[in-house]
Chains A and B, each alone.
Chain A
């Protein structure tokens, strides 16, 4: 197997609290998370020599390096594809380490996504030269909830997935969040009836409780070589595979214009095909999974895309309890982005690391392998 990335490991994780109003700058959130992750790893911040963040992150690499007093920042990279790139952060960092371009890579994502710029609000792109008219927004499809619902609708119609089916996922996620002290919805589980009485956002697709949180917060991870990881403070969490897939004609928001069937998440299938090839593992070898869900239907489409169940069968897989603690594939054990918080999906990576370390609030007994999927990017993590 030609996979240089599996000689790398995640050695530190850190975060701020997840809130609705952090009361401090995005730079401070990033630095707090970075400091915590480096302290967790037992690495001197001055030794960081590479960084990875999102295209959308407002925190300039040089600014981060300045306050960490990094001696020599030698390599930087940013992901594409919005939240879909959350797990690509690990692929980029691992690539730099495997190539020798960097030895100690800091991954960070920090924002005031609730108290500052809210992704869930209608999109008003100031770059449009003709703001009056746009081929999407002018037709009343101007929020992520509406844009993605137009994608979920034919999937749900084809397979008879109802909003009540979605409720079974949301109840499971909120049950996990309720027992996760990090989660925004800690101590606040819901019933199916609570879900079904929450207001429609896009009837009959999404209700309020199908939507992820809007959160303020910062998270960070530290990666280095597997060899060096063995001498550090924490048990190393090894990268068994890391991949991205942006198939031809694909679009993160308006994924309607390719020539494939629009009722399947083809990128999630393509990304896991790479992962199985890299790792020699398959869906049945995965002990726990984190799946990016800006809205609950993504979990259904991704479970099928990744091969955990067949097309149309995710609703039964979830209803039968497979994703619960003690099920065949516990999913989003931190509560997911709708239960723990929305740190653009990078908080899912932290939960994957905790599961492999054995330190998660909702620990899967004996977890050896974790898939952390942002659907267009994903990683398989495991014990070293």
Chain B
């Protein structure tokens, strides 16, 4: 999956990178080879602010491990306007509302460096 390589290189450096079209300026995620607006193949990475809101969430568990805490999977709408999948930490699922403001941090999850989010203080 070569189109994703820059994204994970960014994660390894604790930065969340989005693709920005060099010709029309449109930001995009998930990573892909062409701008869907102007069809340019030219792009540069742009670091995300790491701020956004929760658009959707679930708790991911193995169905036979109901007692386990599981991981909260969220669809985040970043302030830049693009959506991405990540995890949410530092909150009880019972307290998650759609539209919850969140902020980015990085963590090793099961030995893998991943972008994670947590509730952000009032901005």
B27 to chain A, nearest CB (A): 12
Answer whether residue B100 sits at the interface, using C-beta atoms and an 8 A cutoff. Answer: no
Q: Is the CB of A129 within 8 A of B1?
A: yes
Residues of chain A in range 235-266 having any CB-CB distance to chain B below 8 Å:
248-249, 254, 256-257, 262
Tell me whether A128 and B83 are in contact in the complex, defined as CB-CB below 8 angstroms, given that A140-B71, A141-B60, A256-B56 are known contacts.
Answer: no
Is A153 engaged at the interface, CB distance under 8 Å to the other chain?
yes
CB distance from A251 to the nearest CB of B (A): 9
B58 contacts A205, C-beta separation under 8 Å:
yes
Q: Which residue of B lies closest to A149 (CB)?
A: B58
B10-34 interface with A by 8 A CB criterion: 11, 29-31
The reply to whether B73 and A146 form a contact with Cβ atoms under 8 Å apart is yes
Please report which residues of chain B, range 54-106, place their CB below 8 angstroms from some CB of chain A when the two chains form the complex: 55-61, 63, 66, 70-71, 73, 75, 82-87, 98
Is A154 a contact of B98 with CB atoms below 8 Å?
yes
Task: Report the minimal beta-carbon distance from B48 to chain A, rounded to whole angstroms.
Answer: 14
Q: Does B2 sit at the interface, judged by CB under 8 A? A: yes
B56 to chain A: which residues have CB within 8 Å? 150-151, 153-154, 256, 262
The reply to whether A130 and B8 contact each other, CB–CB distance below 8 Å, is: yes
CB-nearest residue of chain B to A249: B36
Interface centre among A133, A142, A158, by most chain B C-beta atoms within 10 angstroms, is A133
**Using Cβ atoms and an 8 Å threshold, which residues of chain B touch A138?**
109, 112, 114
Q: Give, as a whole number of angstroms, the nearest-CB distance from B19 to chain A.
A: 12
User: Does A124 make an interface contact (CB < 8 A)?
Assistant: no
Given contact pairs A199-B63, A249-B36, A262-B56, A133 touches B8 in the complex (Cβ within 8 A): yes
Size of the chain A interface, CB-CB below 8 angstroms: 35
Cβ of A117 < 8 Å from any Cβ of B? Answer: no
> How many B residues face the partner with a CB closer than 8 A?
34
Report the minimal beta-carbon distance from A99 to chain B, rounded to whole angstroms: 30
Given A153-B56, A154-B55, answer yes or no on A135-B31 (Cβ-Cβ < 8 Å): yes
- Which of A146, A151, A158 meets B60, CB within 8 Å? A146
**A201 at interface by CB-CB < 8 Å:** yes
Q: Is the CB–CB distance between A146 and B58 below 8 Å? A: yes
Q: Is the CB of A256 within 8 A of B112?
A: no
Q: How many A-B residue pairs have CB under 8 A?
A: 92
Task: Identify which of A134, A141, A158, A200 contacts B63 (C-beta below 8 A).
Answer: A200
Check A202 for interface membership: any CB of B closer than 8 A: yes
A60 touches B (CB below 8 Å):
no
- For residue A284, CB closer than 8 A to chain B, the reply is no
A69 interfacial by beta-carbon distance below 8 Å: no
A129 to B57, CA, bound (A): 28
Taking a contact as CB atoms under 8 Å apart, the answer to whether B85 and A157 are in contact is no
Query: What chain B residues lie within 8 Å of A257 (beta carbons)?
Result: 29-30, 82-83
Q: How many Å lie between the Cα of A203 and that of B58 in the bound state?
A: 8
**Partner of B86 from A132, A139, A200, A254 at Cβ < 8 Å:** A139
Would A140 and B112 count as touching, CB distance under 8 A? Answer: no
Which of A140, A142, A254: most chain B Cβ within 10 A? Answer: A140
Q: Give bound CA distance, A378 to B7, whole Å.
A: 37
* Nearest CB on B from A90, distance (A): 30
Is B120 an interface residue when CB atoms closer than 8 A count as contact? no
CB distance B66 to A199 under 8 Å?
Answer: yes
Q: Which residues of B contact A200 (CB under 8 A)?
A: 63, 66
Indicate if the CB atoms of B112 and A134 lie closer than 8 Å: no
Question: Cα distance A154–B30 when bound, in Å?
Answer: 20
A150: which B residues are within 8 A, CB to CB?
Answer: 56-58, 73, 75, 85
Known: A132-B112, A146-B73. A139 touches B87 (CB 8 A): yes
Report which of B4, B29, B31 forms a contact with A130, defined as CB distance below 8 A: B4
With A135-B30, A140-B73, A201-B63: A128-B58 Cβ-Cβ less than 8 Å: no
Report, nearest first, the 10 A-B pairs whose CB atoms are least far apart: A140-B60, A140-B71, A154-B56, A141-B73, A149-B58, A153-B56, A150-B56, A150-B58, A201-B63, A128-B1
Instruction: List 30 A–B pairs whose Cβ atoms lie within 8 Å, in order of A's numbering.
Output: A128-B1, A129-B2, A132-B112, A133-B8, A133-B11, A134-B4, A135-B4, A135-B31, A135-B85, A139-B60, A139-B71, A139-B73, A139-B85, A139-B86, A139-B114, A140-B70, A140-B71, A140-B73, A141-B58, A146-B60, A154-B98, A157-B98, A199-B63, A203-B59, A249-B36, A254-B30, A256-B56, A256-B83, A257-B30, A257-B83
The interface of chain B, by Cβ under 8 A from chain A, is: 1-2, 4-5, 7-8, 11, 29-31, 36, 55-61, 63, 66, 70-71, 73, 75, 82-87, 98, 109, 112, 114
Residues of A within 8 A of B (CB): 127-130, 132-136, 138-142, 146, 149-151, 153-154, 157-158, 199-203, 205, 208, 248-249, 254, 256-257, 262
